[in-house]
Amino acid sequence: DSGVTQTPKHLITATGQRVTLRCSPRSGDLSVYWYQQSLDQGLQFLIQYYNGEERAKGNILERFSAQQFPDLHSELNLSSLELGDSALYFCASSVGGGTTDTQYFGPGTRLTVL
């Protein structure tokens, strides 16, 4: 168990809908990362927050947004969902925000868009 929790574990929804994925980092970790994992694209970095502020952006679509709250938990909002958004979404956390800080991954949320 990495200490990172993600809810829900599974989510099934329809095209055009909006969902929110939630992540609680390990105790003491200030940085939260969001990743999307699909069979064809692999693990893709979406966005990183450090102590409430956006630190880095990756391949995140405009339909997706995220935030990190004062208690350091984070939410990833996915809107106008398309079939191609079906994937595993992972949250990771680390103490610092640099490349060399070990990232601890949560168990993921499996999103299915029908």
Partner 1 sequence: QKEVEQDPGPLSVPEGAIVSLNCTYSNSAFQYFMWYRQYSRKGPELLMYTYSSGNKEDGRFTAQVDKSSKYISLFIRDSQPSDSATYLCAMGVLAGTALIFGKGTTLSVSS
Residues 6+ apart with CB under 8 A from 23: 4, 5, 6, 32, 34, 73, 74, 75, 76, 91, 93, 106
19 vs 47, beta carbon nearer partner 1: 47
Alpha helices in the chain (DSSP H): none
Does 74 participate in binding partner 1 (rule CB under 8 A)?
no
Q: How far is the CB of 82 from partner 1 (least distance, A)?
A: 22
Cα separation, 15 vs 97, in Å, equals 34
Asked whether 78 and 10 are in contact (CB, 8 A), the reply is: no
One of 4, 72, 87, 113 touching partner 1 (CB under 8 A): 4
Binding track, positions 14-53, relative to partner 1; x by CB under 8 A: ---------------------------xxxxx--x-----
Asked whether 74 and 29 are in contact (CB, 8 A), the reply is: no
One of 74, 108, 111, 113 touching partner 1 (CB under 8 A): 108
How many residues lie near partner 1 (CB under 8 A)?
24
73 vs 79, beta carbon nearer partner 1: 73
